[in-house]
Amino acid sequence: MLDIKFVRENPEIVKENIKKKFQDEKLPLVDEVIELDRQIRAIKTEVEGLKAQKNKASGEIGKLMREGKKDEAQKVKESVGEYANKIDELDAKLPSLNEEFLKKMYVIPNIVDPSVPVGKDDSFNVEVQRFGEPVVPPYEVPFHADIMARFDGLDKDASARTSGNGFYYLVGDIARLHSAMLAYARDYMCDNGFTYVIPPFMIHGDVVNGVMSFAEMENMMYKIEGEDLYLIGTSEHSMIGRFKGQIIKDQQLPLTLTSYSPCFRKEVGAHGIEERGVYRVHQFEKEEMIVICKPEDSMTWYNKLWKLTVDYFRSLDVPVRQLECCTGDLADLKVKSCDVEAWSPRQQKYFEVGSCSTLGDAQARRLGIRYKDQDGTHLCHTLNNTVVASPRGLIAVIENNYNEDGSINVPQALQPYMGGKKVLKPIK
């Protein structure tokens, strides 16, 4: 959410930003929130004036009574009652005005960084750089579900019976490889100075509204029926929510945290759920990284975070690239974002395995996350980035370490988490 003072003083900048995001239907919101803000401030000013008059009149009543001027005192009492009624009448208008104001403010997108390329959708995203040489082996790399089947490692028939489409059972060495990647990601982030956290996997609605846009919530979040609880789509949600309403000492910043969680997503949209494989599913597991910092440090941390994901996948022998997200592909709260994409030898193209974002003070403003220094209290900046989300990351490791005989090389970094195994051999 933007600062209303910024919107008042820079309406054209806000409108131009909306145009850059190809959301012209939101342009009228700028003038509407400015008008609502004017009405709210006018009411508050009038109420303050009436309270001052009421207090002054109340002070005169005792004086008039002591002077024996009962009739005059009675008239003043009546005026005090009129002031009180008028104050109540004006105060009663504020809740609906404030609700409408916030409803509109919440959907005005954040101001994107000037470096973000302008484009309508993800087809305008820009490749920045590659890490590792993408290799196409001289033999066929099967579809990942078929590779897993040779290890008896994937059972989607059973998950269809228990849970429906979009779920899966991972079994045996494939399940173990999946868990090894997550355990290694945890230790990798701890070795890089991050504090490990296991957060709640459900959060209240006010936290959801604080960390994401309404459109994202509708397309992603599962709500628990009859309760004010939502299953998280990523641990970022509950990790940022942890600091709701808190004032952090400036000496504690930056907070550098890494978290594990299962993630649950409805995945509503044109892409749909993958029926055979496990690339796009309703449930997966993820190691995330979160940073809460001072505004002047956020872009430095942004660049540190995505590089950590690159180095993680390179340590698993997976070539990757950094892809800069364009304006139309940014969620409304984001200032700047990039994807880390892994090479697929089977498809001979890259696919997304992680996303890094800085959200400026948008989440902090919604949730009241501030820090205090000698100059007062200020809004923090928040950032998040994927270390690894599996089974999507698992697909990248399997494909890039697949041998012609159907075996899978275990990357050296994962071998301690696999009981020392160097090669996984298929059962079928």
pLDDT at res. 79: 83
Closest by CA position to 259, among listed 327, 200, 322? 200
3-state secondary structure 263-311: EECCCCCCCCCCCCCCCCCCEEEEEEEEEEECHHHHHHHHHHHHHHHHH
- List the Cα angle 425/427/428 in 5-degree steps: 120
pLDDT at res. 73: 77
pLDDT at res. 263: 96
Alpha-carbon span 411 to 404, nearest angstrom: 17
> Is the CATH number of domain 122-424 3.30.930.10?
yes
Share of the chain above pLDDT 90, in %: 86
**Is 90 exceeded by the pLDDT of residue 53?**
no
Q: DSSP assignment, residue 346?
A: T
Overall average pLDDT of the 416-426 stretch? 97
Helix (H, G, I), strand (E, B) or coil at 388: strand
Overall average pLDDT of the 13-22 stretch? 98
Question: DSSP labels for 304-345?
Answer: HHHHHHHHHHHTTT--EEEEEPPGGGS-TT-SEEEEEEEEET
* Residue 351, both tokens: 């696919």
* Residue 428, both tokens: 């079928």
Buried b (16+ CB within 10 A) or exposed e, 57-95: beebbeebeeeeeeeebeebbebbeebeeebeeeeeeee
Helix (H, G, I), strand (E, B) or coil at 86: helix
- List the Cα angle 98/99/100 in 5-degree steps: 90
Closest by CA position to 267, among listed 229, 231, 218, 339? 218
Per-residue pLDDT tens over the stretch 393-409: 999 999 999 999 999 99
| Residue type, position 416, single letter | P
pLDDT at res. 113: 97
pLDDT at res. 217: 78
CB 281 within 8 A of CB 359: no
Query: Looking at the domain that runs over 4-105, which CATH code has it been given?
Result: 1.10.287.40
Going by pLDDT thresholds of 50, 70 and 90, the confidence category of residue 215 is: confident
- Which range is least confidently modeled, 59-73, 171-185, 210-224, 386-400? 59-73
CA 138 to chain centre: 41
Overall average pLDDT of the 317-340 stretch? 97
| Residue type, position 402, single letter | Y
Alpha-carbon span 381 to 360, nearest angstrom: 5
Per-residue pLDDT tens over the stretch 114-156: 999 999 999 999 999 999 999 999 999 999 999 999 999 999 9
Closest by CA position to 401, among listed 131, 146, 130, 147? 147
pLDDT at res. 293: 98
Overall average pLDDT of the 78-86 stretch? 84
Overall average pLDDT of the 421-425 stretch? 97
Q: What is the pTM of this model?
A: 0.90
**Is 90 exceeded by the pLDDT of residue 216?**
no
Residue at token pair 């907070």: 255
Alpha-carbon span 104 to 263, nearest angstrom: 29
**Is 90 exceeded by the pLDDT of residue 74?**
no
**Is 80 exceeded by the pLDDT of residue 317?**
yes
CB 117 within 8 A of CB 327: yes
Strand ranges inside 68-179, DSSP E: 126-131, 154-155, 169-170
How long a stretch of residues is the chain? 428
Domain regions of the chain by residue span: 4-105, 122-424
Per-residue pLDDT tens over the stretch 244-269: 999 999 999 999 999 999 999 997 65
Going by pLDDT thresholds of 50, 70 and 90, the confidence category of residue 110 is: very high
**Is 70 exceeded by the pLDDT of residue 271?**
no
